Amino acid sequence: MTAIRLGLCGIGTVGGGVLDLLRRNGEALAGRAGAPLEIVHVGARRDRDGVDPGSATVSREVLAVAEDPAVDILVEAIGGTDDAHELVRRALEAGKHVVTANKALIAEYGNDLLALAEEKGVSLRFEAAVAGGIPIIKALREGLAANRVSWLAGIINGTGNFILTEMAEEEREFADVLAEAQALGYAEADPTFDIEGIDAAHKLVILAAIAFNTPLRFDAVYTEGISALTPEDLAYADELGYVVKHLGVARETGAGLELRVHPTLLPKDLLLAKVAGVKNAVLVEGDAVGPTMYYGAGAGGGATASAVMADVIDLARELSRGQRCPLPSLGLPMDQLRELPILPMGEVRTAWYLRLEAEDRPGVMSQVSRILGDQGISIEALIQKAPQRGQSRVPVVVVTNVASQANLERAVMAIEALDSIAGPVTRIRVESLDG
């Protein structure tokens, strides 16, 4: 059998994992692919300890891999967007299939790159771009192809989930747990993408594009981070029967598509609420199958390389049989995707958790209830603690019924204007994920 020839760009965590998988499982992979898989060209700006490219040609200029006529499939593992964009574009223009783990690249440039791949009759695959080793792209695109997806929700950033798990279970402050996550290698030196929801937004856009047959719309995602959360918020959530998770939610409504990443209170009995540490999970609601959940390692060299090689094997199977890789990467050809309107966040409706500091005197809660009621918002649950010795203010926690963000914000502004309320009101969305 003629070998399928791979070009690998980047030999860091993911690229090194790919080399390791081929070294350990090469014979089995060849059987599954229908042909041997051989790395013939490696693009790496520098050598890495413990990473051996074997007999492959090594180029310090990664674009040389894209231009090498000997390469059938290029694996992009350099990360970032600018250089990766140019690399993938060059490879597609040269008629090569491309596999990437780069969620930012796909979320921000995927529409143009996927259109180019279709024009050139090649494939751009990206299973590893979302949720590490969990095969959620294949599940949405192929396993659930018979379904109309109504919504999906996911814990799709392991760093944030680790931080919230530690804060809740150990009653630790955000900054303390973030420093530990950085020391353990779960968080970057600049953790902004993880803790402010940008990484999760990249992944959510990809999932939503496949689930709802719509173009990638990273610019339309609402993102809210977790750095303002306190151990007190997580403790109150627990007392009320909830767990706080940093969630990505995509939902198709009659008015438009919701695309949002934010802290969320989930009922404790939900399987998604039980996902702890650095694990990822995605819950999908299909009209035929109902709710299905996909759980596993969301990051790491081995898990991500597993997903990369799954795409390589799919492409190699088709190449070894002389096929043209006909499966559209988003489930439909680019010109058949639907341009769905994005629902403004002010119109998104959820229940809400509110925490405020109130003067311990009669009439305060009746004022708060009246203000909420004026916006059509009722109180579903309430926690009010006794004041500590020598203190005149008490913490008050309220869970409301379902309300639009616009109405909730108007109510919060009025509550914060009361002379009996000290400081800003904390608000976190509450989701039941039951439809």
pLDDT in tens, 345-362: 999 999 999 999 999 888
Phi, psi of 318 (to 5 degrees): -70, -40
pLDDT in tens, 70-95: 999 999 999 999 999 999 999 999 99
CA-based nearest residue to 346, from 402, 400, 405: 405
pLDDT in tens, 265-309: 999 999 999 999 999 999 999 999 999 999 999 988 999 999 999
Q: 322-336: buried (b, 16+ CB within 10 Å) or exposed (e) per residue?
A: eeebeebbbbeebee
Facing residues of 5 across strands? 38
| 8-state DSSP, 120 | H
Annotated catalytic residues are 203
pLDDT in tens, 376-394: 999 999 999 887 777 788 9
Residue 434: band (very low, low, confident or very high) from pLDDT cuts 50, 70, 90:
confident
Burial tier of 276 (Cβ tally within 10 Å: 0-12, 13-18, 19+):
middle
What is the β-pairing status of strands 279-286 and 349-359? unpaired
In whole angstroms, what is the distance from residue 219 CA to residue 19 CA? 35
Mean pLDDT of the chain: 95
Q: Are 295 and 275 in contact (CB under 8 A)?
A: yes
- How many C-alpha atoms does 338 have within 13 Å on its Cβ side? 11
pLDDT in tens, 399-423: 999 999 999 999 999 999 999 999 8
Which residues are CB-neighbours of 406 under 8 A, at least 6 positions away? 346, 347
* Residue 219 identity (one-letter amino acid): D
Mean pLDDT, rounded, for 201-212: 98
List the structure tokens of 372. Answer: 């909420």
Rounded to 10°, the helix 174-183/158-170 angle is: 130
Element (H, E) at 18: helix 13-33
Share of the chain above pLDDT 70, in %: 99
Q: Output the pLDDT for position 299.
A: 86
- Whether 49 shows a pLDDT value over 90: the answer reads no
DSSP assigned state of 342? B
| DSSP structure string for 371-407 | HHHHTT--EEEEEEPPPPTT--EEEEEEEE-SEEHHH
Q: What is the pLDDT of residue 387?
A: 79
Q: Supply 172's token pair.
A: 């630790």
